Structure 1
Amino acid sequence: MVAQDYDSQLLESVSVRRRRLRDAVVFGGARQRRGWDERLGKVFGGVVIGAVLCAGCVGWSFGSERVMKEKPGVSGGVTRSPASGVSETPSVGPSSR
């Protein structure tokens, strides 16, 4: 039992040491400062991506709403009303009243 505990402690200490050496090589002496800078950049990038997605959704909604409003007028005089289903309207000429 003691040997397994020692082995796990040894493996953990080796992994911690490797991570610290890797961070020292990659980031240099200002490890904490660069870490915060990178995190701040990722947060800012996430906010920008979220704003672009929101603007795209709003634009899509606006565009599809305009297309839906224009579509009944182009269909050749047939419009749909929620109460009666399909009704025909004359497309050319005066009304019969």
Structure 2
Amino acid sequence: MVREYDTQLIESVAVRRARMRELLLWGGQRRVRATGDGLRWMRIGLVLAAVACAACVGWSFLQNVIADQQRARNPAPVQQTGTR
């Protein structure tokens, strides 16, 4: 019985917080606009953008390291200019 009351209390607090958040963001139009889905998709988009940025930086770093290793193995020949 106590666990059911705790679960019910937790759920009612979550609903109240969601309603307060929507009231704060939308005012009297909170029933027309729901923010839960929009905020969720925005968070997902930010995470995906961060992962894409990290992948680009990692790929650039990897290419730079490989190019440095290739230059160290095969140094460019030194060209001599005309004689004096």
TM-score range, shorter chain: 0.5 to 0.7
The alignment covers a number of residue pairs equal to 56
RMSD: 2.8
TM value normalised by structure 2: 0.55
Q: For 2:62, which of 54, 58, 65 is the aligned residue?
A: 58
CA 69–75 in structure 1, closer or farther in 2 if over 3 Å, else same? farther
Q: Within 1, Cα distance between the matches of 2:65 and 2:47?
A: 27
**Helix, strand or coil: the match of 1:74?**
coil
**Helix, strand or coil: the match of 1:29?**
coil
Matched, 1:37 2:18: no
Q: Within 2, Cα distance between the matches of 1:41 and 1:69?
A: 42
After superposition, where does 1:4-83 map in structure 2 within 5 Å?
20=24, 23-24=25-26, 29-71=33-75, 74-75=77-78
Q: How far has the Cα of 1:75 moved from its partner? A: 4.8
Residue ranges of structure 2 left out of the alignment (5+ in a row): 1-19, 80-84
- Higher relative CO (CA 8 A, sep ≥ 6), structure 1 or 2? 2
More helix by share: 2
Residue ranges of structure 1 left out of the alignment (5+ in a row): 1-15, 77-97
Taking every aligned residue pair, what percent have the same amino acid on both sides? 12
Q: After TM superposition, where is structure 1 displaced by more than 3 Å over at least 4 residues in a row?
A: none
More strand by share: 1
TM value normalised by structure 1: 0.48
Q: Within 1, Cα distance between the matches of 2:44 and 2:73?
A: 44
